[in-house]
Amino acid sequence: MKKVTMFLLAAVVCTTAVVAQDTATHKMHKMHKTHKMHEMKDCVMMKDGKMMAMKGGKTMGMDQDMTLTNGTVVSTDGIAKMSDGSTKKLKNGDCMYMDGKMMSGMKHKGKKMKKAGKDAMPM
């Protein structure tokens, strides 16, 4: 009887450990995938007084005006002319996605900006 009880106890402990590991691994994978998707979103932004463009995860200085998918034209000096004719001046930290949506200030999708390096982008 003791052998059967010990065997059942060992089986329960092993099963619980396997389920716990699977859940933790799944959560980590999901977090990594979400973070990576967030990181790769294309945008133009004003950083330290210069317009920067992020495409495919690479950041570079804007050397010519850029037309976004909604018709907004963003110039190299940070002036965005919307498709309705209105204009906005991007300030340091302002980011405009390729669909024309704007994220103002030093936050990007709820995360603070990195301060390291000239090509630093939102985390």
C-alpha span between 90 and 104 (Å, rounded):
8
Q: Residue 111: enclosing H or E segment and its boundaries?
A: strand 111-112
Query: What pLDDT shows up at residue 5?
Result: 73
Query: What pLDDT shows up at residue 16?
Result: 64
Nearest 5°: the CA angle 58, 68, 52 is: 35
Given a contact cutoff of 8 angstroms between Cβ atoms, the answer to whether 55 and 68 are in contact is no
Mean pLDDT, residues 29-57? 76
* CB-count burial class (<10 Å; 0-12, 13-18, 19+) for 44: buried
Query: What pLDDT shows up at residue 2?
Result: 73
Domain ranges of the chain: 1-39, 41-106
pLDDT digits (tens, 9 = 90+) for 47-56: 999 999 999 8
Amino acid sitting at position 37: M
Q: Is residue 108 scored above 50 in pLDDT? A: no
Given a contact cutoff of 8 angstroms between Cβ atoms, the answer to whether 123 and 107 are in contact is no
Percent of the chain with pLDDT over 90: 46
Q: What is the pTM of this model?
A: 0.55
Query: What pLDDT shows up at residue 33?
Result: 52
